[in-house]
Structure 1
Amino acid sequence: MSTWQIIYRGFDPGDEGRREALCTLGNGYFATRGAAPESRADGVHYPGTYIAGCYNRLTSAVAGREVEHESLVNAPNWLLLTFRVGDGPWFDPARVELLDHEQEMDLDRGILVRRLRFRDGRGRTTRVVQRRVVHMAEPHLAGLETTLVAEDWSGPLTIRCGIDGTVTNSGVERYRELDGRHLADVRTAEIGPDVVVLHARTSQSRIRIAEAQRVRVLVDGEVPDATPVLVRRDGVIAHDITADVDRNAEVRVDKIVSLHTSRDFASTEPVAEAIEQVRDAADFDDLLRSHCLAWARLHTAFHFGLSTSEPAQQAVRLHLCHLLQTVSPHTADLDVGIPARGLHGEAYRGHVFWDELFVLPSLTLHLPQLTRALLRYRYRRLPRARKAARDNGFAGAMFPWQSGSNGREESQLVHLNPLSGRWLVDHTHLQRHIGIAIAHNTWHYHQATGDDEFHQDHGAEMILEITRFFASLADHDHSRDRYVIRGVVGPDEYHTAYPGSNRPGIDNNAYTNVMTAWLCRTAVQVLRELPAGRRGELVDALDIRHHEIDRWKRIAQRMFVPFHGDGIISQFEGYEQLAELDWAAYRRRYGDIQRLDRILEAEGDDPNRYQASKQADVLMLFHLLSAEELAELFTGLGYPMPSIPDNIDYYLERTSHGSTLSAVVHAWVLARSRRHRALEFFDEVLASDLHDTQHGTTSEGIHLAAMAGSIDLLQRCFAGIEVRGGVLRLNPLWPAELGPLELSIRFRGQPLTIRVTGRTATVRTAAGHTREPVTCACGSRTIQLGPGETARFSLEPGAAGTTTC
């Protein structure tokens, strides 16, 4: 097995869900789980196809109340392909003797290969090889090639190829009390002897989805004398093709599918588009070639030359593959956000959270046009965020913690604890820091790209409106002469109220407060740096008055930050008064305590009572902001700079790591002080989905932010690549255990190649580009590089510094 392959040998029903998620193929427009083509949702398999941005709302009765919920829709299953020998049963791996079974995920080219041999009840042996693609160059196309060999028998073989429109959203067990029937008005038609089409619409959003299939069968390279028989029932349409085969005959079935929706651009009508495209599509081999070329271009943009251990290389390549299958160049033409679980499953119902905070930095340094498109998803929903702020008595724009189609708050009102079986009131929508994440992404996109057009037309407006919201969220506490923010939930998520209180939320979450100070400082800087004409337009359009800007400045100087002990930042006001948890006792009793909140609730207890966090909260400050930025912020607030190592140690002992993001943040904040521990957390990030370290969650969809976070740990944390103030700053502290790194990035339109080892970095600009020189800084040295130039920076003791050629 190479580091560009994931291979699963044998058939393991208990592990099939994880394998299906990790073998998902996608192209940014849609993705299909790696389920076997003959399978249906049966508790072992779960075929799922998800179209970016295709949401639908339903109302369900849950825990005695009517709840409206929006979900990413499981689209009709285009994979359907099975076969039978003679009048025997349709193929089912559970009803034959499997002699060999192997799945291979090609991470380099985005191809899924399945190989199997089986013996049926009559002793007949058949060999099957299937290759599958979701086309990276043609976003509406997918293909499945199936080759069958009759090893020791002859007789009639019937192939059934079709499309199944009876699918529902039922892939997450704890959601199964919710209505999952999103497809309505399912219709089918036979267009010709080799083409069928199925179309449906979503019941509430009324998105029309059309899938057309073209099938061609060859027996030993020849077209058989076989007339396809139409099979049409209950939302399923298929063709049965029967051919007589001889011993050792090779039967090849090429199935090409085209998928279109009424959301598409440059489209007249999805059914017509799907039929026309599938008729005109090339054969499987030619499609495979153009598909591989598209993947090769992506790998050029995301070049990561790693020389670390093979398992680590494999995991990083798996993560990169799934990132690019969820967010590809096709995403630039779509109005979509980043679903937390990718296009790989139905966990979180396909909603968009703050995961872009961990995803966009990786994209910005390689394919910045994708970051721009994803920020446009937020900008288009700015009017909805303004309405949400007004409806709740605030100014500016209040973005939702969970977003879907139009930017309405989609967070659940109740959630199920599977350990206790109880439905619980959910207050996680109070995670107001989602707006800070959007503003942070917007600001740093501008810093990294110099995209003044986006910044002036969209980005600055978002930052200013988000700042307005947080300024209105903050109240002046006269007794402290400080600004405070009450009634929120921090990134931790365990603490949604004070013990025994009926009021949801906690007060003065340190992360929210400090980042609000950062936001207010940044908004003032945005206004100061905008061209005078555009600044005047925005100030007039948004009716920003001098007193409002003065308030932002005061908040940036007088925001309250809670502390306790000897310089420990309190996660929120009163955190230190909570009880200490007996962590050792819970680990002895339960082993895995990642979801400590569920354990405590099932015991009749409450996580709000304890100094216990699900994931990094205070430590997010050290992840997002450099030590220099933090020192400037705390000094401006009139607080001494807290000890970063002391705060890390304090919260490390009080975190259950119930989120895969926790390992990303902890690896980051430990990288400069405790490298060995940081690498342990990095290994946890690499293993999180590959080995399903959360015990069953990967089958519901991969954790995209953790996957992108592993890439970001390599390039921005360990390699020390940072963009600030229009300068590419390098502070390498590359672990020797990982071997040298070479990667390609784009900085302000200029392609760069960077090689990092230890405390040394070499930067090479591409020849032939006419852009302005690139400004690079490392330590106390700053240098400008023109096209085709190279600089070597070293922070090793006694190093000469920089050389250029």
Structure 2
Amino acid sequence: MKRIFEVAPWHVTTHEFKPEDKRLQESMTSLGNGYMGMRGFFDEDYSGDSLPGIYLGGVWFPDKTRVGWWKNGYPKYFGKVVNAVNFVKMNFEINGNKLDLAKDTFSDFCLDLNMKDAVLTRSFVVEKDGTKVKFNFERFVSVAQKELSVQKVSFQNLSKDPVKITVVSGIDADVRNEDANYDERFWDVKQINNDSVIAQTKPNDFGTPQFTSGMQSNYVTSMEETNQNVSDLATETTFETDLKTNETGIIEKRVIVVTSRDYNDPTSLVAGMNGLTKKVSEKSYDELLTAHKNIWAERWQQSDVKIEGDTEAQQGMRFNLFGLFSTYYGDDSRLNIGPKGFTGEKYGGATYWDTEAFAVPVYLGITKPEVTRNLLMYRYNQLDGAYVNAKEQGLKGALFPMVTFNGIECHNEWEITFEEIHRNGDIAFAIYNYTRYTGDKSYVLNEGSKVFTEISRFWADRVHFSQRNDQYMIHGVTGPDEYENNVDNNWNTNYLARWTLEYTLKVLKEVSPEQAEKLNVSEDEKAHWQDIIDRMYLPYDKDLDIFVQHDGFLDKDLKPVSAIPKDQLPLNQHWSWDKILRSPYIKQGDVLQVMYDFIDKFTPEQKKHNFDFYDQFTVHESSLSAAIYSVMAADLHYEDKAVALYERTARLDLDNYNNDTVDGLHITSMTGGWIAMVQGFAGMRVHDGVLSYRPFLPKKWDSYSFRQVFRNRIVEVTVDDKGNHFKLISGEPLEIQVNGKPVTLDSLQTS
């Protein structure tokens, strides 16, 4: 664990600059507004190690998959988020000498991410060739005007003599992706002038769209504009000012960013960009910032989680919610939640099953239902791609991709592309989860029934019948525990396949005759599905009374994690892949993931036996792991373990638990803090349409409170040393259950 930021309720702040932690700082101070975002890299050039990155929602490139052995069905390309044209670039000279914190002497350094207002600031005093100048940087990407990026830089002369400050600011298309197969640029500049760049992603051989982006800058400053320089790849404007002792200069840079996702042709894109630039140029900096802050205030008003008595836990929770909101707030149904969001390039930046399994439960509780419905529509709109994925494997129905931008599988690891098919069940579960939580059946009985039907057709073709055992089985899969590949009868996968078929048959009984006709499920199909349900093999060990993760798991050398020398952890950074695959060690919940999904369908004894068994082998080297185990531990009244696992999931990136935050934040796992608290500590469940709680207060906390959206109401829950308090903030009266007893909410309630 490495902590490089100070602990505070609303801020992520450091007063130290260590070059070896530069990438960590960049990841942790990333900004985003759902439309675009950027790592917290410096505005000015930095000659040391850094990972500058700006990313635009829905803009990507199909980089050719490069393997020495090609297999039928293998994804033809690896989809990756494209590092956008650098529009924040601003360089500074002091008496003609360029500022570079990798080389310069400086003091009073402060880097601060204000999570409440979503503003990043940086300040320092630099001493250079006998001069002394204080710099202050401020940056935000507006949630009030999604296409707007704003920077404000001030510089104060602390020297005895006058100082000339030169600012060279521009838009630079000479950018690359660090993870590219080749060291090529992904952008071709189509048009460039004094204040704008129009660039298009390079042509590709896979029939995927090319994207055009336009960036136009506008400045507000009293500095003198002295030069314009336009090259093939960049446009620069130079400003100069002479500062007397203690005098301060200021420059604001506003950039409008548009893409072809919102404009049909280059002419309309340029017109849209010009119109937005004019619109924002008419407003002051304070007006732009206030509009941005007001929307963030509304978001926090509805979804803030307050923790008293533990500032580390409070900071972790807000950092997680901030990362989620910066990535996705449901404004665009064409977008989804990438595992790195706008904070890095790893994993390609595309959609994973994380959205359905981890993000949907949180968004159901903190936003209006339309946000989650957009996430479900995203998958429905990509059914055509899911048909292609199944066909590539020689199977019927739909196989939703493990990784995608457009519905077509685009991951470049075979064990995930071919084998991690539990994602089909996770996507089906998300529809069920939305339906039971919101009470809204309009999706499941229409678009959702189509998704269920096509997934069921896939499962029915993917299983095989074992004559020897008189049961259906699924061989050659990878479960959520990616430290085991190509296993037979992964319990998680088999359970989800059986459940999906069972729930699909239930849905088909409720759809309208018109929808049933469209789905065209024959009676023979239904009978076959029911036979699979009745005779699906689910590995179980009677002596241990556990569901066995897969055939052969119990034949491994079952030594607990405690037997591993600490200097060999994390395993994925010390052991060979072969050694990991042969070990019993579990990357993340597998059996326990399904038990969490259907937590009320299992007996207390089943939950206890399975948790106690699998917990001892789990290394939590997936960012998604700790939250699930925290909820299960809380359900079993293992309160100390539940709290410890909450701390791990809430501060995963802030404390760099897995030593991999340099690549970017783990956005989808930022759901973990909310899940662990609300479903774990507060014991929130939905039973037959009734919201229920079984809260407890962690020993080291004084209190916690949160607001939860549920069926057109907002409920406020507070747990402190005096008891449990429930308040209906908005909506009609609601009957809930608290510790198994009914409570009607129409005003402040305490139980």
Q: Give 2:521's aligned amino acid.
A: I
Please tell me whether residue 209 in structure 1 is matched to residue 213 in structure 2: yes
Quote the residue 2:451 is aligned against: 462
Matched residue, 2:90: 81
The aligned counterpart of 1:28 is 34
What is the identity, as a one-letter code, of the residue corresponding to 1:492?
D
1:629 aligned onto 2:589: no
Query: For residue 197 of structure 1, what is the aligned residue in structure 2?
Result: 196
| Paired position in structure 2 for 1:69 | 78
Aligned partners of 1:166 and 1:234 also within 8 Å: no
Offset from partner CA, 1:766-800 (integer Å, 9 cap, x none) = 45x4x5x5342345434555xx445444xxxxxxx
- Contact 1:327–1:370 (CA under 8 A) maintained in structure 2: no
Structure 2 counterparts to residues 759-770 of structure 1, below 5 A = 761-766=724-729, 769=731
Contact 1:61 1:178 in 2 (8 A): no
Q: Which of 147, 168, 189 pairs up with 1:140? A: 147
- Residue 540 (structure 1) aligned to one of 517, 523, 526: 517
Tell me, what secondary structure is at the counterpart of 1:117? strand
Asked if 1:53 is matched to 2:52, the reply is no
Alignment root-mean-square deviation, CA: 2.4
Partner Cα separation in structure 1 for residue 750 and residue 528 of structure 2: 45
Q: CA deviation at 1:47?
A: 1.8
Task: Report the CA distance shift for 1:738/1:469 in structure 2 as closer, same or farther (over 3 A).
Answer: farther
Which digits, 9 at most, give the CA deviation of each residue in 1:333-375, with x for residues without a partner?
2401210112110010102111111111111112122211111
Corresponding residue to 2:428 among 415, 423, 439: 439
Q: Counterparts in 2 of 1:745-784, with a 5 A limit?
A: 745-757=708-720, 761-766=724-729, 769=731, 773-782=733-742
Confirm or deny: 8 A CA contact 2:163 2:243 kept in the other structure. Answer: yes
| Cα separation, 2, equivalents of 1:762 and 1:461 | 42
Find the aligned partners of 1:526 and 1:737 in 2 and give their Cα distance.
46
- What is residue 361 of structure 2 aligned with on the other side? 361
Q: Does the C-alpha gap of structure 1 residues 242 and 263 become closer, same or farther in structure 2, counting only changes over 3 Å?
A: same
Paired with 1:439 and 1:163, the residues of 2 have a C-alpha distance of 44
Q: Aligned residues: percent identity?
A: 25
* 1:447-495 deviation line (CA, Å, top 9, x unaligned): 2223333333322322232223223222233333322111111111111
- Does residue 1:96 correspond to 2:104, yes or no? yes
Residue 273 of structure 1 corresponds to 272
SS of alignment partner, residue 181 of structure 1: coil
Aligned partner letter, 1:305: K
Unpaired stretches in structure 2, ≥5 consecutive residues: 1-6
SS in 1 for 2:291: helix
Aligned pair 1:524/2:502, yes or no?
no
SS in 2 for 1:242: strand
Q: Please point out which of 490, 496, 500 is paired with 1:509.
A: 490
Is the partner of 1:455 in helix, strand or coil?
coil
Q: Do the aligned partners of 1:754 and 1:761 also contact (CA within 8 Å) in 2?
A: yes
**Aligned twin of 1:636:** none
Give 1:234 deviation, angstroms.
4.3
C-alpha deviation, 1:757, in angstroms: 4.4
Q: Which residue of 2 aligns with 1:486?
A: 475
The answer on whether the counterparts of 2:173 and 2:189 sit within 8 Å (CA) in structure 1 is: no
1:686 CA displacement: 2.3
Q: 1:526 to 1:325 in 2, by over 3 A?
A: same
- 1:415-447 Cα distance to aligned partner (Å, 9 max, x none): xxxxxxxxxx64554110111111111111122
The one-letter amino acid paired with 1:216 is V
Work out whether residues 58 and 179 of structure 1, in 8 Å CA contact, stay in contact via their aligned partners in 2: no
Tell me whether 1:325 sits opposite 2:326 in the alignment.
yes
Cα displacement (A) at 1:164: 1.3
Deviations 1:44-95 (A, max 9, x none): 2222111111111122655587963211111111111121122x32111123
Give the structure 1 partner of residue 621 of structure 2. 658
For the residue of structure 2 that corresponds to 1:444, the secondary structure is helix
Give the Cα separation in 2 of the matches to 1:235 and 1:396. 46
Q: Distance in 1 between matches of 2:690 and 2:264?
A: 40
Deviation for aligned residue 1:738: 3.0
CA distance in 1: counterparts of 2:505 and 2:472, whole angstroms: 18
Are 1:539 and 1:545, in contact at CA under 8 Å, matched by a contact in 2?
Answer: no
Indicate whether 1:409 and 2:409 are aligned.
yes
**Corresponding residue for residue 10 of structure 2:** 4
| Cα deviation, residue 265, structure 1 | 6.2
Taking the aligned partners of 2:384 and 2:76, their CA distance within structure 1 comes to 24
Counterpart of 1:645 in structure 2: which amino acid? K
Letter in 2 for 1:94: A
Check whether the contact 1:186–1:235 (CA below 8 A) recurs between aligned residues. Answer: no
Task: Extract unaligned runs of 5+ from structure 1.
Answer: 191-195, 219-223, 414-424, 497-504, 632-640, 794-805
Q: Normalising to structure 2: TM-score of the pair?
A: 0.92
What secondary structure, in the 3-state scheme, does the structure 2 residue paired with 1:431 have? Answer: coil
Contact 1:21 1:702 in 2 (8 A): yes
CA distance in 2, matches of 1:265, 1:232: 26
Of the candidates 689, 694, 711, which is equivalent to residue 726 of structure 1? 689
Question: Structure 2: how far apart are the matches of 1:29 and 1:611?
Answer: 42
Q: Shift of residue 161 of structure 1? A: 1.3
Q: What's 2:554 paired with?
A: 576
Shift of 1:254: 0.6
* 8 Å CA contact retained: 1:62, 1:178: no
CA distance in 2, matches of 1:62, 1:474: 29
Q: 5 Å matches for 1:110-509?
A: 110-120=118-128, 122-152=129-159, 153-170=161-178, 175=179, 177-178=181-182, 181-190=185-194, 196-203=195-202, 204=204, 205-218=209-222, 224=223, 226-264=224-262, 269-281=268-280, 282-328=283-329, 331-356=330-355, 357-367=357-367, 368-404=369-405, 406-413=406-413, 426-427=415-416, 429-496=418-485, 505-509=486-490
Do 1:594 and 1:614's aligned partners in 2 also have CA atoms closer than 8 Å?
no
Which residue matches 1:802? Answer: none
For residues 180 and 18 of structure 1, do their structure 2 counterparts lie closer, same or farther at Cα, with a shift above 3 Å needed?
farther
Deviation at 1:180, TM superposition (A): 5.2
Change (3 A) 1:427 1:292: closer
Q: Count residues with an aligned counterpart.
A: 728
